[in-house]
Amino acid sequence: MALVQRNRIKLTLEGAKLIVQACEAKSRELGQDMDIAVVDDGGNLLAFCRMDNARITSIDIAINKAFTAAGTRRGTHEYALSASPQGGPVFGIHVSNQGRFMIFGGGLPIIVDGQVIGAVGVSSGTVEQDRIVAQAGVDAFLAALAEEKEATS
C-alpha cells in the first residue's frame, strides 16, 4: 500500500487560460456570452471569465458546476435524472456541499491519462449551450496537450 501518490498530473494556470479562451470562442460562435470557470482537481478556482453580457446570477452557477464536476469526477448533467424529485436515487443531493452541488449540464471534468485534473463549468445559456461550450474547452485543452506531447516526443 502506497502512503503517497507520486507523478500526479496537475492542471496549470496556462492550461486553464487555454480552456477559458476556447470556451469564449465557442460562446461567441453560438452568440451567447457565458460565465466560464476552471477549477483544479480539488475544486479550487484557477481561472474565471465573465463575458460582457453573461448573467450575473450565473457566476456562482458556473463556479459550482466546475466544483461539482471536479469533486464527483463526472459531468453535472449526469445527475439530472437521478436527482429528480420523482424518486431519483440521489434526490436532495443538490443541497449538499452548502448548496454548491449542481445537477444540470454545463460542468465537465478534465481527464488526462485516467486522472481527473480539474473541471470546467459554464453558465448563462441553455443547458445544451452550456454543455457545448464546456466541451469545446475540454476538447481544445486535450488537443493542445496532445500537440505538446507530440512536439516533445
- Are 109 and 82 in contact, with CB atoms under 8 Å apart? no
C-alpha cell read off for 68: 461539482
pLDDT in tens, 12-53: 999 999 999 999 999 999 999 999 999 999 999 999 999 999
Cα 107 to its chain centre, rounded Å, is 4
pLDDT bin (cut points 50, 70, 90) of residue 8 is: confident
147: left (phi over 0), alpha (psi -120 to 50) or beta: alpha
| Phi/psi of residue 34, nearest 5 degrees | -130, 160
Can you give the pLDDT at residue 2? 83
pLDDT digits (tens, 9 = 90+) for 53-67: 999 999 999 999 999
Q: What is the pLDDT of residue 135?
A: 98
Q: How far apart are CA 130 and CA 116, in angstroms?
A: 20
Between CA 58 and CA 65 the distance in angstroms is 10
Surface-to-core class of residue 104, CB atoms within 10 Å of its CB (0-12 exposed, 13-18 middle, 19+ buried): middle
pLDDT of residue 60: 96
